[in-house]
Structure 1
Amino acid sequence: MKKLKKYKKIILLCFFFSVFFLGGISAKAASPAYYITPIFSEHQTKAVTTFFDLRWTPNKSDKVGITITNNTDKDKNFEVNVNKARTNSNGVVNYTDSSKESLKSEQPTITSMVDFPDSVTVPAHQSQTVYSTINFPENDFNGIKMAGVVVKEKGTNTKSQNVISYALPLIIRGNIDQRPTSEITFGKFDLKQNNFHTFALKLPISNEKETLLKDTQVQVKIINSANSTVWKKNAKFLMTPETSFTYNQAINKRLDAGKYKVQLIVRHAGNVWKSTQNLTISAQKAKKIAKTVPKGSLFSYLKKPIVLVIVTILGTLLVIALSIAIWSYTKKGKSSNN
């Protein structure tokens, strides 16, 4: 019984230590080194409170701002960048790509319309607000423009996992509610080695119009010379306006050398775009692909019905045995105490 009480004390000490330790981490996480707050304009969409959502107002101007609050004991310098929103290779919207925005439509680019100061100095334990004036051309606009206002501490790399950066989405919606007709185009498909562990299909896709395509359904197929589908993948993502990107779809299947077809189908709001392109896999590439896909794994082995049944039975017996052992030990402790 004394041993049992001893074990209980140890468990309680571990519990209180973990609560205290994790509580300390949570307290620190609740007070970031800095944070930003949007300052909305009179043209802000009323229902939107977490990012900039503006209405295009021809031949007028608008003013938006951000407040940077420095919680540290030192003065901090911050970079402020306005980047075009882009769908990245994984089908996720990225606001940190600072590459130059190409002009496809007659209207100015969003990065040329929004102009925050490049850098801001915020004293310790204080806040600083900066503004950008947005001048709208006199022409009407029926599309959507998307960008991100990105703030990070000067001299840091946003790609580092230890660096905190904030991105506030900024959307400008045309004053004409009838959006342009969507248009999707495709580039040359290819199959390349991503890294030592994976091969991936490289599928260039372009959203040619200033339209935001939410819940875009994507299906990728690899079809062999016998017209049979040997590999298929379905995905869903959001395509930002006027964006060209290479969709990167990893494959996890061994493919023999030979001739195939890669079929990419994109669906949105009843519209369907499809491209089918030839793909030849050499014997050398087939060997490389095989090396990245193991013949069998523990996970795939456990998925077999008979193995799954056996593992379930053994697991159940183990739980029962442990329960009996604990009950027996507790009972024995009570008896010795009496």
Structure 2
Amino acid sequence: MKRGWKILLTISLALVAMIWSLPTAQAAKTAENNVGYTVRPVLPANQITKKVSYFDLRVKPGQTQHLQVVVANTSNRTQKFRISVNQAVTNNNGVIDYSQLSPKRDSSLKVGIADVFTKNATQTVTVPANGQKQVSLSYTMPAKKIRGVILGGIYIAQLNPENAKSDGQIMIKNAFAYAIGLSLQEGATVKPDLRLDRVATAQINARNYVTANLQNFQPGILQKLTVNARVTKAGSNQTLLSQKQGQMGMAPNSNFNFGIPWGNEALVAGNYTLYLTAKSGDQQWQFVRNFAINGPTIKRLNRHALTPTQPNYLLYLLLVLLIVILLAIIGYLIYRNRHTPDTK
């Protein structure tokens, strides 16, 4: 009987090892993928908020200033980095994004990061192993005073050289990146404000959506935004689609597409109504917009859309089979123990 329990214990331990092998391997992989560098801003005297790791600057019309960023290479090999100053935008997840080199300019943006920083702001620097380099970036404010905030980010991208070309040239590929926020403000803080632009249909990652384009048309940062939206047939109060999302943010003078997934609904061509409520702190906005979806659009979207995810029945079957095998082994061991003559 003891031998049988040893076999059962061995099988159980093997199963536990199989279950934990994937996360363990992933943790090991994460440990190996150390980025190998750090960045920090050298905060100047006109920094508004002192104990932060980004630039929050009080500036004046016509002011020119040189900003310093220190890139420290903590690895044992020479590394290259691309440093750029990017306009802050809002991505379709409702997150302020500093990573886009040439984002589409929002129609409400009068003065952006690209208007104040020098044309050679984007640069590539080489930092020796276990060394560091101080990088300088310059901006000049417009002569006329501006309202609100110009928001951007200093984006430091680690570059990995790869011998990807047969002629001996080096292809540079992004590996990892940091963003240091950059806020330039001359006067009083301006409250953000929202408006609903266009309502459309789109396909994102092979899923169908109704999208509501929300625009923050003021030079103020929008934080802790919650959006609650629903779609009905025109003239009906029955909700066909709905989506609620909170803890979002929007850059000044930016827009993004809030997505309402179709899910299992098979929408047909016709007229629909969007009801959308947005809230941030003590500010609240309500929008109602009629829109239409035509037959060709429905056909085009459905042609390439993935069907809703189905349960993984094969996995469930394998788990049931594993349990049956374990029960069979336990039953066999108990049976053999009861029917084996005592030799003592």
- TM-score (normalised: structure 2): 0.71
- Label 1:220 to 1:142 Cα distance change in 2 as closer, same or farther (>3 A): same
What is the Cα deviation at residue 202 of structure 1?
A: 3.0
Once the two structures are superposed, residues 234-265 of structure 1 have per-residue CA deviations (whole angstroms, 9 ceiling, x without a partner) of 12321110113333443212223432222333
Which residue matches 2:168?
Answer: none
What is the Cα deviation at residue 82 of structure 1?
A: 0.6
Distance (Å, rounded) in 2 between the aligned partners of 1:295 and 1:76: 44
Q: 1:225 aligns with which of 214, 234, 238?
A: 234
- Label 1:67 to 1:329 Cα distance change in 2 as closer, same or farther (>3 A): farther
What is the Cα deviation at residue 93 of structure 1?
A: 1.8
Which residue matches 2:166?
Answer: none
Distance (Å, rounded) in 2 between the aligned partners of 1:2 and 1:84: 69
Which residue matches 1:212?
Answer: 221
Distance (Å, rounded) in 2 between the aligned partners of 1:256 and 1:326: 56
What is the Cα deviation at residue 184 of structure 1?
A: 2.4
- Which is worse superposed, 21-30 or 129-138? 21-30
Gaps of 5+ in 2: 161-170
Q: 1:276 aligns with which of 257, 280, 289?
A: 289
Residue 42 of structure 1 aligns to a residue whose secondary structure is: coil
Alignment of 1:1-338 (within 5 A): 1=2, 4=6, 7=10, 25=29, 27-30=31-34, 32-46=35-49, 48-57=51-60, 60=63, 62-99=65-102, 101=105, 104=108, 108-115=111-118, 116=121, 118-136=123-141, 142-152=147-157, 153=159, 156-158=172-174, 163-176=175-188, 179-194=189-204, 197-227=206-236, 228-236=238-246, 237-252=248-263, 253-268=265-280, 269-282=282-295, 285=298, 289=302, 292=305, 294=307, 297-298=310-311
Distance (Å, rounded) in 2 between the aligned partners of 1:19 and 1:248: 32
Residue 96 of structure 1 aligns to a residue whose secondary structure is: coil
Q: Is the 8 A contact 2:241 2:260 kept in 1?
A: no
What is the Cα deviation at residue 104 of structure 1?
A: 4.6
Report how many aligned residue pairs link the two structures. Answer: 314
Distance (Å, rounded) in 1 between the aligned partners of 2:26 and 2:127: 31
Distance (Å, rounded) in 1 between the aligned partners of 2:11 and 2:203: 54
- Label 1:293 to 1:131 Cα distance change in 2 as closer, same or farther (>3 A): closer
Gaps of 5+ in 1: 302-310
Distance (Å, rounded) in 2 between the aligned partners of 1:265 and 1:8: 56
Residue 198 of structure 2 aligns to a residue whose secondary structure is: coil
- Label 1:185 to 1:157 Cα distance change in 2 as closer, same or farther (>3 A): farther
How many percent identity over aligned positions? 17
Distance (Å, rounded) in 1 between the aligned partners of 2:122 and 2:303: 52
- Label 1:151 to 1:276 Cα distance change in 2 as closer, same or farther (>3 A): same
Distance (Å, rounded) in 1 between the aligned partners of 2:185 and 2:212: 29
Distance (Å, rounded) in 1 between the aligned partners of 2:22 and 2:311: 33
What is the Cα deviation at residue 218 of structure 1?
A: 1.6
What is the Cα deviation at residue 68 of structure 1?
A: 1.5
- Which is worse superposed, 76-85 or 42-51? 42-51
Distance (Å, rounded) in 2 between the aligned partners of 1:280 and 1:298: 31
Please report the RMSD computed on the Cα atoms of aligned residues, expressed in angstroms. Answer: 4.5
Distance (Å, rounded) in 2 between the aligned partners of 1:185 and 1:266: 10
Which residue matches 2:164?
Answer: none
Once the two structures are superposed, residues 168-201 of structure 1 have per-residue CA deviations (whole angstroms, 9 ceiling, x without a partner) of 222234442xx33543233332113335x31122
Q: Is the 8 A contact 1:34 1:69 kept in 2?
A: yes
Residue 234 of structure 2 aligns to a residue whose secondary structure is: coil
What is the Cα deviation at residue 53 of structure 1?
A: 2.1
Distance (Å, rounded) in 1 between the aligned partners of 2:211 and 2:88: 21
Q: Is the 8 A contact 2:277 2:284 kept in 1?
A: no
Q: Is the 8 A contact 2:277 2:286 kept in 1?
A: yes
More strand by share: 2
What is the Cα deviation at residue 72 of structure 1?
A: 4.2
- Label 1:325 to 1:142 Cα distance change in 2 as closer, same or farther (>3 A): farther
